[in-house]
């Protein structure tokens, strides 16, 4: 049905899920040409390392200057100092230039926010997962130069100094996590303004606003002056950084023997002299423009989710068309530049996390999430030639970062959807799939203008925002199943025996399910209130002490308001709490309702005993629960209605509460990243039969293996949640590759996506299972009951098959290629 895509270079076969080594038995490495192959290989094989350069520049600057300037100006001067002094790296084969650290994969530390101890640095240097290499020599310098200055001054130290006992107890029990304790709030995205204006244009706007300040009548005029002054300095800082790259390229060109490379270096220099001071004029300059802004944002502070170009394909399309028309760019050259950009993002691992934050988000991925497709601000189809180029780049490079997503509105053509599914079925986990028709409604509901909503999209994992105009800060995950767990023990954490909630009564005295639910609701309210109270404190700490003066330049309407990104400067100011484990909490409530209060075949006392001993000696009881309870994700109203109730109650407890900024509001979010693993770790067994320590359900997905009626039943269950009320839901679906082998299967998966989106779904991503997963499924059948095997006239579940047939499917999956 589909004709082969005609590209200059054949896309070689791959083996899924193997970073850097998915090209089977072939000397041919991924990448469209030698340059890209080399850059990609360097990016993958270079280990992540810690660079102390920024910390040293900053500490010296603070020692000399702290107290001399208003805080925003101090922050901007500090940023300028870093841009002036940091080392400049231009790799041998690079076209797009600029690294955060002194080389690829080198990550800065941000001691003003989290001052790593010598012990932390040793752990980072030696731990098995997400290791960051650092030399003993550098650790020693850090010990003498950096740590003594920041100890007790860092944001993290100050936060933990402030928080009350009850917050600490709940935090340590794993009731919630705190995003801002060691990384700055960021979570935002760029819109199209930087392709129309350069930093000098922004500077002019800043100067105009300063000229308008009314010192006689505006009580905030002086604060605004400091902020605007700082923003102007930040513009200079990034221009200086670019000029230094131009200088370096010119110098390298003088020593270069290869005439082709001399030409490239001169071009790099020309580009860096143009952007970001001025608006870009062509495709190359547009990409480099964004990259300098990105570098500025991730160097100024270590904001979550790095930074994000948003609808990059739509922004680049006019440059691409124009360059093709005037003959200054070919399709292959454009793709090469995109590959260079992609690798640049991969060169920036997330800043190292320690403690609970490392548990909640244990990955090098820094969650830049490029939005591809979607709609234009006028509501029409946003897919263009660059969108397809990007899909090719994703498929061919197969690297961890940047994350990417396709946006499938009702106006999006099937051709694009199917092209994306063909990338999805390779099993990279990318791209994820979003529904603009629903997230635009989400944004309208939370007060954005139609045009701003359409220009918005999704960043990080699944969180929705108005790109270039909104601060939408994530403040931490809420462990909703754990809240039910402490409800069952009258506010006490059964894992530690410590009191972390309020007393809502011994559940053995409850005579109805409603009584139990009311107790759960009271605990939920208590924990959410506690979380919000401290959120406000931390939020103000950033606004007062660590304003993001550079990021504020590019976020509407910080210049106009003379306020910082953290201080209500953006047009919209949202704060999210991410509620995790809807599946686990629903299934547990369903089990309690059905067995304890309705069928009465299990006593509350019996169930509490069973979970307190982790079902040891109670396997019959556990199996009865697992196999005879309505669970979420099966299009069964019994369970789905409980999910809807929990979801709606969380919404009522969070949505529209003030967040301390003018007009700013809290909204509900439903993502989980990898936090469902951490949350599961801190929990005992649950009434749904889940054993102690096992992961809870992710996002709004059903509990692992509990959806046994196929993907269309899952999406029906999810559709019962009014997803427009959230700022994003998350659905992971597992598929065997055999369900996606034929062209018709691609079309049918497209139908499934369209069907979910027509019913109000926000997001779905597909985990095309690999051999390792199937082996895990064979060994732990309980957690993989959802794996379907579909063949003509026959259908079964993987785990209902004979051992030797399971083995056969495992082998077939191993050998299958598309």
Partner 1 sequence: MPFLFDIKRYSINDGPGVRVTVFFKGCPLSCRWCHNPESISFKTEKLYDKSKCIGCGSCVAVCPENALTLTKTSGVVTDSGECVLCGKCAEVCPTKAIEMSGRDYSEDEVMTAVLKETHIMDASGGGVTFSGGEPLMYPEALKSLLIRCGMEGIHRAIDTSGCVKSPVVEDILPHADLFLYDLKLMNAQNHRKWVGVDNTLILKNLALISDHDKEYHIRIPLVEGVNTDDENIIKTIDFLNGLKRKPTVVGLLPYHNIASKKYEKLGKTYNGNGMAEPSKERMTQILSVFTANGLNAVIGG
Alpha helices by DSSP H, 69-117: 71-85
User: Among 721, 698, 414, which residue's Cα sits nearest to residue 583?
Assistant: 698
Is the separation of the CB atoms in 410 and 534 below 8 Å?
A: no
Q: Is 606 in the site for partner 1 (CB under 8 A)?
A: no
Q: Is 800 in the site for partner 1 (CB under 8 A)?
A: yes
CA–CA dist 418, 5 (Å, integer): 12
Is 339 or 739 the residue whose CB approaches partner 1 more closely? 739
Q: Is 792 in the site for partner 1 (CB under 8 A)?
A: yes
How near is the Cβ of 658 to partner 1 at its closest, in Å? 38
- Which stretch in 336-344, 576-584, 591-599, 617-625 sits in contact with partner 1 by CB under 8 A? 617-625
How near is the Cβ of 647 to partner 1 at its closest, in Å? 20
Residue 403 pairs with which residues in a beta bridge?
A: 369
Total residues binding partner 1 (CB under 8 A): 41
Catalytic one of 340, 461, 558, 675:
461
Q: Is 795 in the site for partner 1 (CB under 8 A)?
A: yes
Is 162 or 628 the residue whose CB approaches partner 1 more closely? 628
User: Among 783, 788, 785, 793, which residue's Cα sits nearest to residue 809?
Assistant: 788
- Which stretch in 251-259, 440-448, 613-621, 693-701 sits in contact with partner 1 by CB under 8 A? 613-621
Residue 465 pairs with which residues in a beta bridge?
A: 457
CA–CA dist 566, 666 (Å, integer): 15
* Angle at the Cα of 372 from the Cα atoms of 184 and 773, rounded to 5 degrees: 80
Is 502 or 801 the residue whose CB approaches partner 1 more closely? 801
Q: Is 691 in the site for partner 1 (CB under 8 A)?
A: no
Find tokens 């992540």 and name the residue. 48
How near is the Cβ of 23 to partner 1 at its closest, in Å? 24
- Count the Cβ atoms, other than its own, within 10 Å of residue 626: 19
Q: Is 216 in the site for partner 1 (CB under 8 A)?
A: no
Those residues with Cβ within 8 angstroms of residue 327's Cβ, 6 or more apart along the chain or in another chain: none
Phi, psi of 133 (to 5 degrees): -75, 135
Instruction: Tell me the two tokens of residue 382.
Output: 């946003």
Q: Is 802 in the site for partner 1 (CB under 8 A)?
A: yes
How near is the Cβ of 618 to partner 1 at its closest, in Å? 11
Instruction: Tell me the two tokens of residue 596.
Output: 């304890």
The correct pick among 712, 780, 815, 817 for binding partner 1 (CB under 8 A) is 712
Q: At what angle do helices 743-758 and 711-719 cross, to 10 degrees?
A: 20
What part of residues 266-295 is at the interface with partner 1 (CB under 8 A)? none
Q: Is 260 in the site for partner 1 (CB under 8 A)?
A: no
Is residue 276 reached through a cis peptide bond, with omega within 30 degrees of 0 on the bond before it? Answer: yes
Is the separation of the CB atoms in 395 and 334 below 8 Å?
A: no
Tell me the Cα Rg of the chain. Answer: 27
CA–CA dist 228, 213 (Å, integer): 10
State the pairing for strand pair 470-479/572-580: parallel
Phi, psi of 790 (to 5 degrees): -120, 125
Active site residue 461: yes
Q: Is 623 in the site for partner 1 (CB under 8 A)?
A: yes
CA–CA dist 758, 769 (Å, integer): 26
The correct pick among 134, 269, 419, 752 for binding partner 1 (CB under 8 A) is 752
Q: Is 1 in the site for partner 1 (CB under 8 A)?
A: no
Catalytic one of 58, 285, 463, 618:
463
Is the separation of the CB atoms in 360 and 367 below 8 Å?
A: no
How near is the Cβ of 610 to partner 1 at its closest, in Å? 13
Active site residue 463: yes
Is 324 or 801 the residue whose CB approaches partner 1 more closely? 801
How near is the Cβ of 786 to partner 1 at its closest, in Å? 11
Is 216 or 620 the residue whose CB approaches partner 1 more closely? 620
Q: Is 76 in the site for partner 1 (CB under 8 A)?
A: no
Q: Is 793 in the site for partner 1 (CB under 8 A)?
A: yes
How near is the Cβ of 407 to partner 1 at its closest, in Å? 18
The correct pick among 127, 624, 645, 720 for binding partner 1 (CB under 8 A) is 624
- Which stretch in 43-51, 411-419, 562-570, 783-791 sits in contact with partner 1 by CB under 8 A? 783-791
Q: Is 754 in the site for partner 1 (CB under 8 A)?
A: yes
Is 97 or 809 the residue whose CB approaches partner 1 more closely? 809
- Which stretch in 357-365, 419-427, 659-667, 797-805 sits in contact with partner 1 by CB under 8 A? 797-805
Q: Is 716 in the site for partner 1 (CB under 8 A)?
A: yes
- Which stretch in 3-11, 47-55, 80-88, 713-721 sits in contact with partner 1 by CB under 8 A? 713-721
CA–CA dist 638, 644 (Å, integer): 10
- Which stretch in 245-253, 500-508, 662-670, 754-762 sits in contact with partner 1 by CB under 8 A? 754-762
Is the separation of the CB atoms in 58 and 366 below 8 Å?
A: no
Find tokens 């660590």 and name the residue. 546
CA–CA dist 670, 769 (Å, integer): 24
The correct pick among 751, 780, 815, 817 for binding partner 1 (CB under 8 A) is 751
How near is the Cβ of 176 to partner 1 at its closest, in Å? 35
How near is the Cβ of 714 to partner 1 at its closest, in Å? 9
CA–CA dist 133, 349 (Å, integer): 12
Residue 270 pairs with which residues in a beta bridge?
A: none
CA–CA dist 455, 452 (Å, integer): 5
Is 104 or 633 the residue whose CB approaches partner 1 more closely? 633
290: exposed, middle or buried (C-beta count within 10 Å: 0-12, 13-18, 19+)? buried
Query: Which residues are identified as catalytic?
Result: 461, 463
Q: Which residue ranges make up the site for partner 1 (CB under 8 A)?
A: 619-624, 627-628, 635, 709-713, 715-716, 739, 742, 744-745, 747-748, 751-752, 754-755, 758-759, 788-796, 800-802, 805
């Amino acid at each position: 049905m589909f004709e082969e895509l005609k590209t200059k270079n054949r896309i070689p076969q791959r083996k899924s899920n193997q970073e850097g080594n998915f090209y089977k038995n072939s000397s041919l490495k991924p990448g469209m040409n030698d340059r890209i192959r080399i850059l990609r290989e360097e990016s993958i094989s270079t280990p992540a390392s810690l660079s102390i350069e920024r910390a040293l520049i900053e500490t010296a600057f603070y020692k000399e200057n702290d107290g001399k300037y208003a805080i925003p100006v101090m922050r901007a001067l500090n940023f300028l100092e870093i841009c002036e002094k940091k080392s400049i790296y231009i790799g041998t084969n690079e076209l797009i230039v600029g690294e955060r650290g002194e080389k690829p994969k080198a990550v800065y530390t941000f001691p003003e926010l989290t001052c790593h101890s010598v012990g932390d640095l040793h752990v980072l240097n030696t731990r098995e997962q997400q290791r960051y290499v650092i030399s003993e020599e550098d650790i020693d310098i850090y010990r003498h130069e950096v740590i003594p200055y920041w100890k007790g001054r860092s944001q993290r130290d100050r936060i933990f100094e402030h928080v009350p006992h009850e917050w600490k107890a709940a935090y340590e029990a794993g009731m919630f996590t705190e995003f801002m304790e060691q990384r700055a709030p960021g979570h935002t995205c760029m819109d199209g303004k930087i392709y129309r204006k350069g930093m000098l244009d922004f500077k002019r706007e800043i100067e105009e606003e300063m000229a308008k300040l009314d010192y006689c009548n505006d009580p905030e005029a002086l604060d605004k002056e400091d902020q605007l002054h700082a923003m102007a300095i930040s513009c200079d800082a990034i221009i200086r950084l670019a000029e230094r790259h131009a200088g370096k390229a010119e110098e390298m060109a003088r020593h270069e023997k290869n005439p082709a490379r001399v030409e490239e270096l001169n071009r790099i220099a020309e580009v860096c002299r143009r952007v970001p001071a001025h608006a870009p004029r062509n495709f190359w300059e547009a990409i480099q423009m964004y990259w300098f802004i990105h570098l500025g944002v991730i160097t100024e502070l270590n904001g979550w989710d790095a930074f994000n170009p948003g609808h990059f394909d739509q922004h680049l399309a006019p440059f691409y068309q124009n360059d093709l028309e005037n003959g200054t760019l070919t399709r292959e050259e454009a793709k090469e530049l995109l590959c260079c950009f992609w690798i640049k993002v991969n060169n920036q691992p997330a800043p190292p996390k320690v403690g609970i934050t490392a548990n909640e988000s244990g990955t090098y991925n820094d969650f830049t999430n490029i939005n591809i497709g979607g709609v234009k601000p006028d509501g029409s189809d946003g897919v263009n030639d660059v969108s397809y180029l990007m899909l090719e780049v994703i498929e061919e490079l197969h690297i961890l970062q940047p994350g990417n997503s396709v946006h499938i509105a009702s106006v999006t053509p099937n051709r694009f959807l199917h092209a994306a599914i063909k990338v999805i079925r390779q099993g990279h986990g990318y791209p994820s799939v979003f529904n603009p028709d629903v997230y635009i409604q989400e944004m309208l509901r939370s007060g954005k203008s139609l045009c701003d909503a359409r220009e918005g999209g999704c960043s990080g994992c699944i969180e929705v925002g108005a790109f270039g105009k909104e601060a939408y800060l994530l403040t931490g995950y809420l462990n909703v199943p754990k809240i039910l767990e402490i409800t069952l023990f009258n506010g006490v954490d059964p894992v530690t025996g410590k009191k972390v909630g309020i007393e809502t009564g011994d559940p053995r005295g409850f005579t109805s399910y409603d009584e139990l639910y009311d107790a759960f609701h009271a605990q939920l309210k208590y924990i959410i209130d506690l979380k919000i109270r401290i959120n406000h404190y931390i939020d103000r700490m950033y606004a007062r002490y660590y304003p993001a003066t550079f990021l504020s330049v590019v976020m509407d309407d910080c210049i106009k308001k003379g306020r910082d990104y953290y201080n209500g400067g953006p047009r919209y100011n949202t704060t999210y709490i991410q509620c995790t484990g809807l599946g686990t909490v629903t299934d547990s409530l369903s089990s309690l309702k059905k067995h304890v209060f309705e069928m009465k075949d299990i006593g509350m006392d019996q169930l509490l005993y069973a979970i307190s001993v982790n079902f040891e000696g109670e396997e019959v009881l556990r199996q009865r629960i697992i196999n005879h309870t309505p669970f979420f994700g099966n299009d069964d109203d019994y369970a789905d209605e409980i999910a809807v109730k929990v979801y709606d109650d969380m919404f009522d407890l969070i949505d529209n509460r003030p967040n301390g900024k003018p007009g700013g509001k809290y909204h509900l979010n439903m993502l989980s990243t990898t936090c469902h693993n951490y949350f599961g770790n801190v929990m005992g067994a649950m009434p749904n039969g889940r054993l102690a320590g096992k992961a809870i359900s992710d996002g709004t997905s059903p509990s692992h293996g509990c959806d046994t009626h196929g993907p269309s039943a899952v999406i029906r269950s999810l559709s019962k949640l009014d997803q427009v009320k959230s700022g994003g839901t998350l659905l992971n679906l597992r598929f065997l590759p055999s369900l996606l082998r034929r062209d018709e299967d691609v079309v049918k998966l497209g139908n499934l996506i369209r069907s979910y989106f027509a019913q109000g779904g926000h997001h779905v991503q597909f985990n095309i299972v690999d051999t390792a997963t199937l082996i895990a499924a064979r060994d732990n059948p309980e957690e993989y009951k959802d794996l379907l095997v579909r063949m003509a006239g026959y259908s079964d579940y993987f785990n209902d098959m004979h051992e030797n047939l399971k083995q056969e499917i495992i082998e077939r999956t191993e050998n299958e290629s598309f």
